[in-house]
Amino acid sequence: MDFIKMIIFILGGARSGKSEFALKLAESLNAKNFYYIATAQALDEEMKERIKKHKEKRNKKWQTVEEPFKIEEVLKKLNRPGNVILIDCLTLWITNLMMFEKDLKKEFEKFLMILKKYKGKKDVWLICISNEVGLGVIPETKTGRKFRDITGEFHQKLAQISDENYFIIAGCPIKLTSFFYNI
C-alpha cells in the first residue's frame, strides 16, 4: 500500500490565484507524474470557457482526470510513489454532490477516510483547492446557507488533517498554521 507523503490545502476566494499557486507549488515538488483531478462540469458556455482557460494554464506534463463525483475512487487509483495529485476544486465537487442530492456527510467521510488511511511517508503529494465561503455576505436562500455551512465545516476537517494550509488573496499565498486545539 502506498501512502500520501503530504496533504496541502489551498483556500481562497474566486479568482484569487489558487490554481496558479497550486500548479507552481506542485511543479516544484520532486515528482514523476502530475495528475489534475477536475471536478467542474461543462454544463453551459461560461463553464466551458472557464475549463478551457484552466487547461491552457497547465503544461503538457499534467494528465487531467475529469471526475465530478467520486474523487475518492480516483485517489485510490492514482496513489502511487512519485505522483502529485491536484484536486481543483472541492467547492465544485460539493456543488455537484448537492445538485444530484448525494449524501454529503457520507461523501465527506469517505473522502476524509481515504486521506487518513493513505497519509504516511511515501512520495505522493495531494494538493486540494477550494473556495473560501465564509467571508462574504450571508446567503439569501436556505440552500445557499446550507452550502456555506457544510462547506465551511468540511474545510475545517480537511485543514485539520492537512500538513500545510494556505490562504490565497490577490495571488499572494499566506501560509496558515496547522495547529489545532481540542476544547
Higher pLDDT among residues 168 and 99, named by residue: 168
Is residue 155 among the annotated active site residues?
Answer: no
> What is the pLDDT averaged over residues 31-51?
88
**Where do the domains of the chain lie?**
6-176
Q: How far apart are CA 13 and CA 130, in angstroms?
A: 8
Whole-angstrom distance between the N-terminal and C-terminal Cα of the chain? 34
Q: What is the mean pLDDT of residues 138-165?
A: 94
For residue 177, count other CB atoms closer than 10 A to its CB.
7
Question: Cα(117)–Cα(148) distance, rounded to whole angstroms?
Answer: 27
CATH class of 6-176: alpha beta
**CA dist list (Å): 153 to 31, 98, 110, 148:** 31, 15, 15, 9
Tell me the backbone φ, ψ of residue 87, rounded to 5 degrees. Answer: -100, 120
Q: Please state which of the ranges 32-36, 109-113, 118-122, 130-134 shows the lowest mean pLDDT.
A: 118-122
Q: What is the mean pLDDT of residues 144-164?
A: 94
* Run of H or E including 77: helix 71-78
User: Among 54, 58, 119, 155, which one carries the catalytic annotation?
Assistant: 54
pLDDT at residue 67 is higher than 90: yes
Average pLDDT, the chain: 89
C-alpha cell at 180: 489545532
Q: What is the pLDDT of residues 118-130, one digit of tens each?
A: 787 578 899 999 9
pLDDT at 183 (0 to 100): 47
